[in-house]
Amino acid sequence: MNKSAPIRPGLILKKLYLDNNNISIKQAAEKLNLSYNAVSNIISGKTSITSDIALKLSKLFDTRPEYWIKIQTAYDLWYVEGNRGTDEPFYKLMKLGGEAILKLLGANSPSEYESKAIVLKEKSLYPDIMAVPKNPDKNNERIFIEFQGYSDPMIQYSTAAKVVMSCSQDEYTGPVLISIIYTDGKFLKAVKPLSIQSQSGLSCLNGKFHEVILSEYNEEKLLKIDPRLIILAPFTLPGNIKKQKLVERCNKWKGIAQKAYNNDRNVLDVFSLFILSKFKQLSIMEVRAMLNFDLSDTKAGEELIAIGEERGMKIGKKEGKKEGRNDEKKATAKKMIKEGLNKAMIKKITGLPIKTLNLL
């Protein structure tokens, strides 16, 4: 049974904080020193609440930063652990590097497209993606993309239905490219080909799709197509890869991704969700530790820092914050030692000296 969806962070912000304080989106944007679109996108769920925004929200509404981090993380993990664990991060990836995905699909003139969610009958079927030409006067085809991270035998049928409904709604009769990107070849093997025919043979409906299997790629192939595709590299690894090797690869890919996306923090959020989707045995604390050496910026780190702050009320917040950080680092280090990571790598990730690690 799927877990029920947590409340979207943007909805909490809108209903509990903006509306209750009679603050409009425009006013909130001014108070937070953000653009109107930035706040609007958080409310609609198009973008996440980052650490920087959490700090701004905490100051405006007298809350803790970790409160906003916690509800955002809970919502993100719901997508990772549910049936459609790769959907939201893929939608975010299309917004950040849609041109690179179109290159992966072999689309003509990928820079001439913009990405958006498919909307039918006033309801967003987000995160199913449609890439449309920026210039409607050019005869570029519309591109429909389904990102498939789980087994669904009827995916060709449901994808075709959405494409037909979308074209009908827009009265569009031009060329289309229908693509399905599978994270693993086993998901493609489970698919039933779209083929519907009448007994008399008087009518039939068949489908042909452009299908890509990420597990058949490797780092070199992705980089050759576009460096921004490195964010998909976790899906090229075997599920039984050694933890030490995974940590090394993730650190390498993190550097490439930061350079390719000009240090956009949202990219690491998407990257971490893809890692969690591929390696479900990992905790979010472990993945964040792989990607960000400042553990105070992780959910687990923030929670433990909060504990340290509470303890530190009597002896000063500065000491409490230090205690929280140290507790989190030691807890992470213990888990990594137990799972066989070498201490040199653990030292690099946590910042703890070898002497301290030897005592754990």
pLDDT at residue 317 in the model:
44
Number of other CB atoms surrounding residue 336 within 10 Å: 23
Domain parsing of the chain, residue ranges: 9-81, 87-216, 238-359
Q: What is the pLDDT of residues 68-95, one digit of tens each?
A: 888 887 777 665 555 444 566 787 788 8
> Does residue 46 have a pLDDT over 60?
yes
* Token pair 């888990």: residue: 335
pLDDT at residue 327 in the model:
65
pLDDT at residue 227 in the model:
95
Read off the pLDDT of each residue in 130-134 and give the average, rounded to a whole number.
79
* Residue 123, helix vs strand vs coil: strand
Share of the chain above pLDDT 90, in %: 28
Q: What is the pLDDT of residues 16-42, one digit of tens each?
A: 889 888 999 999 999 999 999 889 888
Read off the pLDDT of each residue in 280-293 and give the average, rounded to a whole number.
69
What is the rounded average pLDDT for all residues in the chain?
Answer: 79
Chain Cα centroid distance, residue 1: 23
Name the pLDDT band for 138 (thresholds 50, 70, 90).
confident
Q: How far apart are the first and last CA of the chain?
A: 39
Sign, CA dihedral 24-30-32-36, equals positive
> Does residue 343 have a pLDDT over 70?
yes
Read off the pLDDT of each residue in 251-271 and give the average, rounded to a whole number.
87
Name the pLDDT band for 310 (thresholds 50, 70, 90).
very low
Of 111-120, 225-234, 302-311, which range is least confident? Answer: 302-311
Q: What is the pLDDT of residues 159-214, one digit of tens each?
A: 898 888 888 888 888 899 999 999 999 999 999 999 998 999 899 888 889 999 99
Q: Which residues contact 228 (CB under 8 A, 6 or more apart)?
A: 96, 97, 99, 100, 257, 260, 261
> Does residue 314 have a pLDDT over 70?
no
The pTM of the whole model exceeds 0.85: no
Name the pLDDT band for 281 (thresholds 50, 70, 90).
confident
Of 52-66, 150-164, 193-207, 301-315, which range is least confident? Answer: 301-315
Name the pLDDT band for 285 (thresholds 50, 70, 90).
low
Number of other CB atoms surrounding residue 5 within 10 Å: 11
Q: What is the pLDDT of residues 96-118, one digit of tens each?
A: 888 999 999 988 888 888 877 65
Long-range CB contacts for residues 294-298, cutoff 8 Å, separation at least 24:
295/325, 295/328, 295/329, 295/332, 295/350, 296/324, 296/325, 296/328, 297/51, 298/328
- CATH fold group of domain 9-81: 434 Repressor (Amino-terminal Domain) (1.10.260)
Q: What is the pLDDT of residues 147-162, one digit of tens each?
A: 888 888 999 998 898 8
